[in-house]
Amino acid sequence: MSADRLSSVSKEVKPESVSLYPLGTAAAPEQELLCIFGTGDFGRSLGQRLLHSGYRVVYGSRRPHSCGPLPQGAQAMSHEAAAQLASLVFLCIHREHYDFLETLTPQLQGKVLVDVSNNPKKNLYPEANAECLQRLIPGAHVVKAFNTLSAWALQNGPSDANRQVYLCGNGAEAKQAVAEVATKLGFAALDKGSLSAAKELEDFPLQLFPEWRMPLYVAVGLTALIFVYVVIRDVVYAFVEQGKDNSFRIMVSLANKVFPIVSLIMLSLCYLPGVIAGFIQLYRGTKYRRFPDWLDRWMLCRKQLGLIALGFAFLHMVYTLIIPIRYVTGAPYSFKSIRENRTSVFDTTTAWRTDSYYSIGILGFSLFLLLGITSLPSVSNALSWREFSFIQSKLGYLTVFFCTLHTYLYGWSGFLRPYKWYMPPAYMLSLVLPSVLIVLKLLLLLPCVDRSLTRIRQGWERTDMQDGSEKPLLT
């Protein structure tokens, strides 16, 4: 018995001991085969990414022998043959070419069809492409996915901007299969629900800066209005009343007046909705009621308002640096003053004002840059919520204060000078909104007001005034 047992053990061990192949080769599972209909840019990029991730890929084409260059390791065959081999099929074709799929209904029965198509514009068809596909092949499990990615993103791998894959479908198992593929490719799959959400996913790539639209409209409108205002006040007035041609100032001097004004107003618009929200919560006595829609939309675009304001502040800094090298203020102008023997008396007050004006401006711009840098996802993700809130809120209001003080120092005694055509200088107009913002914020910082607002934001709610009691809400 023992000899037989020894003999049997030796027979089992012997083949492993003399094997010339790696131990994991024989036990490696067979790679899953996936099918792709379409050999365009997106189809080839998707196939290359799938091959690099360990899948086998077969292409279905109308002309399998002349469909162009394919990723190395992929096969090309007819649509019928390719559909029979794989249980998951990527449809990288446009909607106008869906008709031929009806002839493949037997081969596509029970298969998972991943629709990656998009339309050239919104509302081109009454129903989504994925819903049309499901109607053409009712026996298949259609999943809308990968349509928000580009061929470039597939070739170069996921990045911060293209890490998510949105998908929707009516079958949970089908969506799970597609999510596993996306995860293996290095993307994060986000389930958007049933196939009725396909139209929303198809419209997503067609949006052009949706979150930036309102801030850009505001910036363009403010720039145009203020530019016209300063041209009338500084150029038209000089030509009509004094006969001077100051049109050369439009390119630099007037532009350098417009940029800081727009920047300060946009920065104030970035922080004003938070203050308004605080007063609304104080008035209502609760934080559990929705803000008005206009305030919701305003608060959602605060980041964009702040970044645009930072861009205008940067332009103001650059234009300020080139002012000393301009023709009208450079060497020719200085030589003219020397020839005419003109001198100016040194004024200590003016020196203090100028140095303070530049110093406060530099501090404000430095804090402005800090706000912009910490708003980047790669930086904000490395900060705790308390750190991020401290920078964006407390240092943000400090930035508003420094920039406003910078403007007040620039005006100095100009507030008391006569106005041209009863038009105050443009920088005075820019001080209205930030000054109101600072006053309102100081009111919220009063101990009695801040204490009440803090309790409301921690979950307390003011009840009916008849019983005069307060109670915490269950959150």
Q: CB of 197 within 8 A of CB of 170?
A: no
Q: Give the integer Cα–Cα distance in Å for 165 and 153.
A: 11
Q: Which residue has the tokens 């801030």?
A: 215
**What was the pLDDT predicted at 27?**
46
Structure tokens at 33: 């085969």
The domains of the chain are located at: 2-206, 210-457
Structure tokens at 460: 């307390």
- Alpha-helical regions (H) of 145-212: 151-156, 172-184, 198-203
**What was the pLDDT predicted at 400?**
96
Give a three-class secondary structure readout of 425-471.
Answer: CHHHHHCHHHHHHHHHHHHHCCHHHHHHHHHHHCCEEECCCCCCCEE
- Per the DSSP assignment, residues forming a β-bridge with 191 are 167
Identify which of 60, 75, 64 has the alpha carbon closest to the alpha carbon of residue 113. Answer: 60
Q: Give the integer Cα–Cα distance in Å for 236 and 18.
A: 98
- Alpha-helical regions (H) of 324-431: 331-339, 348-374, 377-380, 385-389, 395-411, 426-430
End-to-end, the C-alpha distance of the chain in Å comes to: 73
293 half-sphere exposure, CB direction, 13 A CA radius: 0
Other beta carbons within 10 angstroms of residue 216's beta carbon come to 14
**What was the pLDDT predicted at 349?**
83
Output the DSSP codes for 200-267: HHHHGGG-SSTTTHHHHHHHHHHHHHHHHHHHIIIIIHIIIII----GGGGTTTTHHHHHHHHHHHHH
Greatest CA separation for the chain: 125
Q: What is the H or E stretch that residue 400 is in?
A: helix 395-411
Helix (H, G, I), strand (E, B) or coil at 90: strand
In whole angstroms, what separates CA 114 from the centre of its chain? 27
In whole angstroms, what separates CA 383 from the centre of its chain? 18
**What was the pLDDT predicted at 412?**
82
Query: What one-letter code names the amino acid at 55?
Result: Y
Q: What angle, 0 to 180 degrees and rounded to 10, lies between the N-to-C axes of helices 213-231 and 302-322? A: 40
User: Please, is 255 exposed, middle or buried when counting C-beta atoms within 10 Å of its C-beta (0-12, 13-18, 19+)?
Assistant: middle
- Answer yes or no: CATH 3.40.50.720 is held by domain 2-206: yes
- Per the DSSP assignment, residues forming a β-bridge with 115 are 91, 144
Q: Give the integer Cα–Cα distance in Å for 333 and 158.
A: 57
pTM across the whole model: 0.71
Q: What angle, 0 to 180 degrees and rounded to 10, lies between the N-to-C axes of helices 255-284 and 213-231? A: 130
Q: What is the mean pLDDT of each run of 10 residues along the chain (475 residues)?
A: 43 38 48 92 93 94 84 92 94 92 92 94 90 94 93 72 84 95 92 93 85 93 95 92 88 92 96 95 91 92 94 94 68 53 70 89 94 89 89 94 94 80 90 96 94 90 56 42
Contacts with 29 (C-beta within 8 Å, 6 or more apart), sequence order: none
